[in-house]
Amino acid sequence: MKKKSKISDAVIRRLPIYHRFLNDVINKGIVRISSSELGDLTGFTASQIRQDLHNFGGFGQQGYGYNAVELRDKLSEILGLNYTYDSVVIGAGHLGSAIARYKGFRQSGFIIKALFDVDKNIVGNKVDDVPILDMADIVSYINENNISVVVITTPKAAVDDVLNKILQCKIKGIWNFAPVDIVLTDKSILIENVKLNDSLLKLSYYLKEKEEEDK
């Protein structure tokens, strides 16, 4: 086992942003970019960007800046975009269907093989090319198809059942949209809780602040 690099979450959160803006400038045909130009685009300071990249080794050149494509490719590698993960979505409602159809997730290396639902009326249907399967079969499906990532889009009340099932399998990660924080004792499974509701309450807080300022 390699020793932990331990780069702070604050840094990791900025990497996808750098990556995204680099893609934008590359599409515009820009070849060379300095840390301060990237800072103007992303809203971070040039110093912070250099500091962040420094964590992974320097990718630039004094007096020149960064080659946009080279830096983008390095970030792709750091973000693990060279890996792919066969995935399933649990919950074939609107949210699950939206995720199954969104092409951006495949571009990030997550390949959605199936949706699962308890509703027998929709089991057997497809969302684009992705079949909706019966939740009763999920354990064997995950095991037989080497699924490593599970996306949860069920209501809150279903989450315990879902976890009971998928924790019988050898999965690597969970991307959770249900409005509960999933915390597992098994720390080898990585969890990203999306927390849409908390995001909305944050907006609510700032809206309220503004209402009261304007009074």
Partner DNA sequence: TAGATTGTTAATCGATTAACAATC
Residue 1 vs 62, nearer CB to a copy of itself: 1
Kindly report the number of other CB atoms within 10 A of residue 139's CB atom: 15
User: Which residue in the set 63, 94, 121, 157 belongs to the binding site for a copy of itself (CB under 8 A)?
Assistant: 94
Q: How many CB atoms lie within 10 A of CB 136?
A: 12
How far apart CA 146 and CA 86 sit, in angstroms, is: 7
Partner interacting with residue 45 (select from DNA, a copy of itself, none; CB below 5-8 Å by kind): DNA
- Position among 40, 137, 160, 198 found at the interface with a copy of itself (CB under 8 A): 198
Phi, psi (degrees; rounded to nearest 5) at 122: -105, -15
Residue with tokens 């070849």: 31
Site string for a copy of itself, 15-44 (x = CB under 8 A): xxx-xx----------------------x-
Query: Judged by CB under 8 A, which stretch of 47-55, 66-74, 129-137, 198-206 contacts a copy of itself?
Result: 198-206
Residue 88: name the closest of 171, 168, 157 by CA.
171
Q: Which is nearer to DNA, 56 or 141 (CB)?
A: 56
Any idea what the Cα angle at residue 169 is, between residues 134 and 118, rounded to 5°? Answer: 20
Segment near a copy of itself (CB under 8 A); pick from 61-69, 94-102, 117-125, 139-147: 94-102
CA–CA separation, 53 vs 42, rounded Å?
Answer: 14
Residue 65 φ/ψ, nearest 5 degrees: 110, -140
Rounded CA separation 5/11 (Å):
12
Contacted by 104, from DNA, a copy of itself, none: CB < 5 to 8 Å by type: a copy of itself
Interactions with a copy of itself, residue window 131-150 (CB under 8 A): 148-149
105 is a site residue for DNA (CB under 7 A)? no
Contacts to DNA from residues 25-44, by CB under 7 A: 34-36, 44
65 binds DNA (CB under 7 A): yes
Q: Is residue 16 within 8 Å of 10, Cβ to Cβ? A: no
| Contact present, 144 and 118 (Cβ < 8 Å) | no
Q: CA-CA distance, 159 to 36, in Å (whole number)? A: 45
Smallest gap from residue 81 Cβ to DNA (A): 21
Question: How many residues appear in the chain?
Answer: 215
Picked from DNA, a copy of itself, none, the partner binding residue 46 (CB below 5 to 8 A depending on kind) is DNA
Within 5-24, the residues that bind DNA by CB under 7 A are: 8, 10-11
Interface residues with DNA (CB under 7 A) are 8, 10-11, 34-36, 44-48, 50-51, 53-54, 57-66
